[in-house]
Amino acid sequence: MSKPRFDDIFMELAVNLSKRSHCIKAQVGAVLTKETRIISIGYNGPPSGTHNCDEEFPGVGCPRDSKGSCSLALHAEQNAILYAAKNGAVIEGATIYVTLSPCIACARIIFSMKIAKVVFLHSYAQYKGIPTDEGVEFLRKFGVETVQYQPAAGFETVIQQGDPHL
C-alpha cells in the first residue's frame, strides 16, 4: 500500500475542518502549509468570541450582505492566515488548501501575504452561481499557482464531491 500524498492529507484535513464551521449556508475549511508542515488551520465563521451563527440565527443563518454573503463571518482562508500572522509564522511561500476556491477579497489577501500556491476543492463561482471564479483568475493573473485538487488514484478519503455544504 502506498502512502498518501501530502496534497491528499492536507485536503482531507481541510474537509474535516470545514465540519467545525457553525455556518448553516456553507462550511469551508483551510490548511496553510509550508513544505510538508502545517503552519495554520481555519474554517469559516465569525470572529472568535462573538457568536455562532447556527445558535444565534437557527434555521436562517446570519444576516447577508449585498452580494448574498455572510456579513459577520471571516472566510476559512482569512482565519488561517490571521492565526498564522498573529503567532509569527512565516507565510511567504506557503501553500493553502481550501475546500472552496477563494473569493476575490480572499485572493487579494492571499496575494498580499505572498502565498505561493492555492489548492482548492470546489469552485466558488459554481457555489455562488456566478460566471467566473474571480479570485482564481486574479491569483493566476498575478503569478500565484492556483489548481483544483485532484485526489490520487486509489486514495480513500472523506472528500465527497457532492457534499451539499461544500
Catalytic residues: 77
SS3 146: strand
Task: Please name the amino acid found at residue 102.
Answer: P
Across the strands, what pairs with 97? 31, 119
Cβ 28 vs Cβ 18: under 8 Å:
yes
Ramachandran class of 90: left when φ > 0, alpha when ψ lies in -120 to 50, beta otherwise: beta
* Whole-number Å distance between alpha carbons of 108 and 127: 20
Grid cell, residue 74, equals 471571516
Phi and psi (nearest 5°) for 110? Answer: -55, -45
Grid cell, residue 151, equals 485526489
